[in-house]
Chains A and B, each alone.
Chain A
Amino acid sequence: QKEVEQNSGPLSVPEGAIASLNCTYSDRGSQSFFWYRQYSGKSPELIMFIYSNGDKEDGRFTAQLNKASQYVSLLIRDSQPSDSATYLCAVKNDMRFGAGTRLTVKP
């Protein structure tokens, strides 16, 4: 059974802090990885995707991929209350999503 695992949280950080979200996957053949943000009652929206080992930065967001260890993470710098949402990790090859990590950023 191919799995995508995330800590369900909730993860709470103060405004301005770095939020760190982690995801592990079981299929070593996975090639591409996505982070989605989902506000309560809304559908997922794409934040970032990453294919290569290492870091990929986009504004306040950094995705990190380590294929040898089979994990992908998302860092959110200078967290804002508007970042409060559930963050979903997805693996393309079999279109599996993790259960999501609920993030709360406290003012």
Chain B
Amino acid sequence: DTGVSQDPRHKITKRGQNVTFRCDPISEHNRLYWYRQTLGQGPEFLTYFQNEAQLEKSRLLSDRFSAERPKGSFSTLEIQRTEQGDSAMYLCASSLTGTGTYEQYFGPGTRLTVT
């Protein structure tokens, strides 16, 4: 257990529905990242926050995806009008800047299945 938690762990939804995932990072970590991973692939970067500011968003990310980190602590990732291609594992990671190492610690992930 890295100290990063994600909720829910599994989500099954029908195509067209909206879903929201939550990530709670390690408490002192100021950076929070969202990734998507499909079978046989490495994690694909989606977006990241430093404190409450969203500093980068993947150019490949559809407008149906939005993320927030309102108080610089937990974060939510929302997918609107889900499609079958959104089925994947959604991973959250956190890190601490200023240590010089920037290593990321991952949560257990949320597995999304769109039917």
- Chain A: residues with CB nearer than 8 A to chain B? 4, 6, 8, 32, 34, 42-46, 49, 88, 90, 92, 94-100
Contact = CB atoms under 8 A, between A and B. Distances in A.
A45 B43 contact: no
Chain B interface size range? 20 to 34
Contact of B45 (A6, A43, A95): A95
Interface of B is mostly: loop
B10 to A, nearest CB: 12
A46 B91 contact: no
Contacts of A100: 40-42
Given A49-B101, A49-B103, 13 more contacts: A6-B42, A32-B102, A34-B104, A43-B106, A43-B108, A44-B106, A46-B103, A92-B102, A95-B45, A95-B48, A96-B45, A98-B42, A100-B42
B65 interface: no
Given A95-B33, A95-B48, A44 B43 contact: yes
Contact of B104 (A4, A46, A94): A46
Interface of B: 2, 33, 35, 40-45, 48, 89, 91, 101-109
A26 to B, nearest CB: 15
A31 B44 CA distance: 19
Contact of A88 (B42, B107, B109): B42
B25 to A, nearest CB: 13
Contacts of B33: 95
